[in-house]
Amino acid sequence: MAPAAEGRRRAKRVTDPLDDRVKAQLRGDEYRLGGYVSSGSEHEGAGELSGFIDGIFFSDEEEEDAAAGGVGSGEGGDEKVGSDAEEGWPQLSAGSTAAIVRDLLKPAVAGDPFRRELAAQVAELVERLAPLRPNRAAFRRALMGSLRESGYDAGICKARWESRGGASAGNYEYIDVLRPSSSTTPQRYLVDVEFAGEFEIARPSPEYERVAAQLPRVYVGRPEEMKRLLRLLADAAKRSLQSREMHIPPWRKGRYMQAKWLGAYRRTTNLTPAGSTAAPASHPSFTAGRDVKCRLVGFDAAPRLAVLPAATRAR
């Protein structure tokens, strides 16, 4: 055997159940990003996740950077699923990934009472507004307005991004809620009313189905939790597609997911979409024309995102 081959270390697959300490390390419980300003000024999240998390879940980011620089497939093209995880890092089994995803989505009750109360309020409003679900845009705005009626600083976040680094251009909308803080930066919470549906993939493996089964239809959580969750889901989807010998389409890449929830966005609290001929509903919680640009950097090696006048989302 050649010396180079002898020295190669293959990734180790974790198959045994993980204890609480290891799960906490994988989730990055000891890491917390700083608060986020979403008042209309540009801002960035502070803090970093461990290199351990980076190595396991988004080891393909370097490959995408190489492709963007002219190596490999062209911009916007399909990417063949990689073979092994980064050398020296274990590759999680589906059971371990599903358990960590479940723990991220169901944190300790005492850990974040505001999130618990917000999630309960969102669940109640979603049920009440269910007849509006067929029209996603109207449903989202009705939910945002109802949250504001309930006293929450909620807004519609509209993300748009250019095609860059192998990820296609697109746009996405979700709700965020700002929690007042004693510091100058309020804590931001993301609310997505069709979260689980965004992770449906073609011909999912049984292992991926176990992971996807943990995802709620309605997501309520903080950006730093979303960041960890996307890393887990990107890794699980990659392994599923690899098992089916399929390519990763541009809109299933980690960069595309980053842009949807953690990239540049425009925040508005208007009751009606911009350019609508309908008269805005009267509501004491709304200020006409309140529409601000924000930037949220939370991913390592995230592409530089630009707000566009208009874009059509690729599905």
Is residue 272 included in any domain, yes or no?
A: yes
Q: How many CB atoms lie within 10 A of CB 272?
A: 16
Predicted confidence at residue 91, as pLDDT, reads 53
The tally of domains found in the chain comes to 1
List, as one string, the DSSP characters of 41-95: S---------HHHHHHH-TTHHHHHHHHTTSSSPTT--EEPPSSPSTT--EE-HH
Q: Packing angle between helix 254-262 and helix 61-68, nearest 10 degrees? A: 100
Predicted confidence at residue 65, as pLDDT, reads 39
Is residue 39 included in any domain, yes or no?
A: yes
Q: Which domain holds residue 146?
A: 34-294
Is residue 180 included in any domain, yes or no?
A: yes
Going by C-beta distance under 8 Å and a sequence separation of 6 or more, which residues neighbour residue 18? 26, 96, 99, 100
Going by C-beta distance under 8 Å and a sequence separation of 6 or more, which residues neighbour residue 89? 11, 52, 55, 56, 59
Is residue 2 included in any domain, yes or no?
A: no
Judged against a pLDDT cut of 80, whether residue 180 lies above it is answered with yes
Judged against a pLDDT cut of 60, whether residue 189 lies above it is answered with yes
Is residue 12 included in any domain, yes or no?
A: no
Give me the chain's average pLDDT, please: 69
Predicted confidence at residue 146, as pLDDT, reads 97
The mean pLDDT of 1-12, rounded to a whole number, is 49
Is residue 17 included in any domain, yes or no?
A: no
Q: In the structure encoding, which two tokens stand for residue 60, read together?
A: 């393909």
Is residue 26 included in any domain, yes or no?
A: no
Is residue 27 included in any domain, yes or no?
A: no
Cα 265 from Cα 295, distance rounded (Å): 6
Between residues 54 and 168, which one has the greater pLDDT?
A: 168
The mean pLDDT of 292-313, rounded to a whole number, is 45
